[in-house]
Amino acid sequence: MTTHVASPHSAFDSGGRPGGPVRSVIRLHRGGLWVWVGYLAVTAGVLLWLYGPGGSAAEQDSIYCSHHQCYDFGAIGAYKDMLIVVDVLIRAVAFLAPAYVAALLVGRELQHGTHRLAWTQGVSPARWMAARLAVPAVAVTVGTGVLVALFHLVRSAEFGVGNWGFFDSNVYYDGGLLAFVYPLLGVALGALAGLLLGRSVPAALVAVAAMAAAQLLMHTLRFKLLPTETRTSSGTYDVPGGAELQGVDEANVHHITAHFHPASHVWPLQFIESGIVLAAAALAVAGTFQLLRNRAG
């Protein structure tokens, strides 16, 4: 099997200025970048449909159903189904990023040995790896920013359909910082797995599994990152609007205590979790460069 590689000098511009490895990654992986643009276009298209004709039709059905007995069929059902699709597409980025970086940006080059060509032609191993981290990190951050902005546009329309509280799982992830930081962690995990294993498929599987484990762990810890507030009432528990209920203690019918996160905890919780995720990404990047130095040295 013949492996096609770039020219030995393809990592540099005509003046030999820094930045050549980045342009080389963009050129060699322009197909992947176009796939990413298409992915963004499809997701953005669904969001714009929710903001436009889909939302308007669902709102009309919702008005009708407020005076008649209805079920989630027709426009309302379609609107809710597309909200689920959007949630899946935005969350999937955190798994697609490590798979692509591990399999194609790092693992395949190590598997085929094409990385040695760059390393022997003036591109240091550190610059080689930095380019493979920088390009996907910028791509997922910019693309995710577009999707999050459109998600908030849909949320602001207030069609009266769906769950839009900030503690609702789709809003908490799709409309917050988590949609940005988990793909960045994925890029770091993908680079580390690709370098560790040096083979495309195993590296991708390990990177995706590591992302799944990280998300499962943080999902378990998410609402334990800040102490909850409490409110005691009689007859039934009572929490403020927009709060996330965490538990209820029922000593007796006259003494019921609710434990909850008020709406004011949304952004502190987001910042704390995002900080933890970015710290994990930084550790993965540091480990990648240390491993690279050991192997290249």
Question: Each residue of 201-241: pLDDT tens digit?
Answer: 999 999 999 999 999 999 999 999 999 888 877 767 677 77
Determine if the pTM surpasses 0.75.
yes
Let me know: does 21 contact 127? Beta carbons within 8 Å.
yes
- Position 297 pLDDT exceeds 70: no
Average pLDDT over residues 248-260: 73
253 has pLDDT over 70 = no
The reported pLDDT for the residue numbered 75 is: 84
Q: In the structure, what pLDDT confidence band is assigned to residue 118 with cuts at 50, 70 and 90?
A: confident
Rounded mean pLDDT, 43-52: 95
Tell me, what's the pLDDT at 1?
36
Provide the token pair at 256.
Answer: 């019921």
Of 147, 135, 112, nearest to 6 (Cα)?
112
23-26 CB contacts, 8 Å cutoff, 24+ apart: 24/118, 24/131, 25/105, 25/131, 25/132, 25/135, 26/135
pLDDT of residue 4: 39
